[in-house]
Amino acid sequence: MPELPEVEVVRRGVATWAAGRPVSAVEVLDARSTRRHDGGAAAFESQLTGRRLAAPQRRGKYLWVPLAGRPDEEPADPHGQQALVVHLGMSGQLLVSTPSDPVQRHLRIRILLEDTGTGTRTAEGGSALELRFVDQRIFGGLFLDPLVPSADRPEQFLPASVAHIARDPLDPHFDPSAVHRRLRSRKTGLKRALLDQSLVSGIGNIYADEALWRARLHYARPTETLNRGESARLLTAVQDVMEDALAQGGTSFDALYVNVNGESGYFDRSLNVYGQAGRMCPRCAAEGRDSLIVKDRFMNRSSAYCPRCQPVPRRARW
C-alpha cells in the first residue's frame, strides 16, 4: 500500500493491535523480503526474536517500530536502539492475523507476537497474534536498523536508512517555505520533484496527479519558475488530498491494498484524475465546460491531467 495515507492506515493498525507485544518467533519465507537487512534472513530472525514492539512511527512511506528488550527490562536509551523498518514497496501488506489463519498466497514473513495479558482475546480463546508481511512483487521488505538522531531535530530519532527521507506534508514540522526554496533551486519537472522523497516525502503517482490537479498545475512545469503562491497552493493541495484519503481509509483498487485487518479504503471513489482518462474533468464540468482527462506516458509511468485547467507550460521540463 504504497503512498503516505495507506502507510498511515497501517501504522495505526499496528499501534492498536501489535504495539507492546514481545516477539516470540520469526519466520522468513522468502529471503528477498529481508534483502535490506544486514546479514540476511537468518540474522533478521534471530535478532528480532525476543524483542518487544514499541509504538510505531512513520515518515513518508516508511514505517518503523522501535524495539525494546524483554518486557521486564528498562526501556533502552534511543542511542543505539534498533527499529523494525517496514517498506511496502508497490504491493506489500502488513496484516495482523491469528496464527491459525490460512496462509496467504504471497506470504513472505511471519512474526509471532505473545499475549501481553492486556490485549484483545481472539475467538480461539488465546490472544497470541501474528504480524504477516505479504508482498506479491517483492519491492518492499522488512529489516532492522539502528535509530539515529534526525539532522534538524536531534531529540527526534529515526532509522539510519530513513535519515535521507524528507519530512512529509502531514509532519508537524513540515516547512512549506523551505520546500519552495528547494523547488526553485532545482532544474526539473514539477512531478519529478514531487516524487523525490528527499525533497518532500510520502507522495507517489496517485497523490502527485491528484494534488497537481487540485492546484491547477501541469506536471512538466519547470520547478525553477514556481512562485511562492503556486508552491503554497500545491503543498496545501498535497496535504488536503492526503487528509481526505486518510479519512476514507486510503486508496484501494483491489484486494492488494488493505489495512492490517484486510479491509479496503474507499478513496478510489474520490479520485479526480488518476485512472480517469477519457472522463470529464469534474471541475471543468462544474463550470459548464467540457474537457476530457488525458493520460501521458512519462518517467515509465502514467500521468493524468486536465489539459484545460492544467495547461502545458510554454517551456516544459519533462
Partner DNA sequence: CGCAGGTCCTGCACGC
Partner DNA sequence: TGCGTGCAGGACCTGC
181 sits near DNA (criterion: CB under 7 A): no
Q: Which of 75, 98, 103, 137 binds DNA (CB under 7 A)?
A: 137
CB of 41 to DNA, least distance (A): 14
Question: Which of the residues 39 through 98 are near DNA (CB under 7 A)?
Answer: 60-62, 87, 89-90
Instruction: Single out the residue of 249, 243, 165 nearest to residue 211, CA to CA.
Output: 243
37 sits near DNA (criterion: CB under 7 A): no
Which of the residues 32, 35, 181, 301 is marked catalytic?
301
Q: Which of 16, 127, 161, 248 binds DNA (CB under 7 A)?
A: 161
Q: Which of 11, 51, 58, 106 binds DNA (CB under 7 A)?
A: 106
CB of 184 to DNA, least distance (A): 10
Residue 74: active-site member = no
CB of 211 to DNA, least distance (A): 13
305 sits near DNA (criterion: CB under 7 A): no
Residue 230: active-site member = no
Q: Which of 63, 206, 234, 246 binds DNA (CB under 7 A)?
A: 206
Residues in contact with DNA by CB under 7 A are 1-3, 6, 32, 60-62, 87, 89-90, 105-106, 136-139, 161, 186-189, 192, 195, 197, 204-206, 251-254, 256-257, 297, 299-302, 317
Catalytic residue IDs: 2-3, 61, 301
